[in-house]
């Protein structure tokens, strides 16, 4: 039987960055201690990443993506 994490929906990291159009970017988000403990206990953790992009006219676009982290 696999262990299940008892985590509810929680923020495990946050990043704010200014981007220039057309420039590729790599982002690295440092996980908070609660997320690190969960990853140590389990073989994998599924995260839902939420990207909110705001342009110069203050128009916001939101995209989400699920990512699975494995040990």
- At CA 32, angle to CA 26 and CA 34, rounded to 5? 140
Is pLDDT of 1 > 70? no
Query: What is the rounded distance in angstroms from the CA atom of residue 25 to the CA atom of residue 51?
Result: 13
Kindly tell me if the per-residue pLDDT of 3 is higher than 80: no
Q: Which domain holds residue 37?
A: 33-70
User: How many domains does the structure of the chain reveal?
Assistant: 1
Coil/strand/helix, residue 61:
strand
pLDDT tens per residue across span 5-32: 555 677 888 888 888 888 898 888 888 8
Residue 51 lies in a domain: yes
**One-character DSSP codes across 13-48:** --------TT-------PPPHHHHHHHHHSSEEEEE
Q: Look at the pTM and tell me if it is higher than 0.75.
A: no
**Residue 24: other Cβ atoms inside 10 A:** 5
Residue 37 domain-assigned? yes
Task: Name the token pair of 64.
Answer: 């989400």
């Amino acid at each position: 039987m696999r262990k299940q994490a008892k985590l509810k929906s929680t923020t495990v990291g946050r990043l704010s960055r200014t981007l220039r159009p057309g420039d590729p970017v790599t982002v690295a988000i440092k996980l908070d201690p609660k997320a690190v403990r969960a990853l140590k206990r389990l073989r994998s953790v599924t995260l839902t990443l939420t990207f909110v992009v705001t342009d110069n006219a203050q128009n916001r676009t939101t995209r989400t993506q699920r990512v699975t982290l494995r040990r």
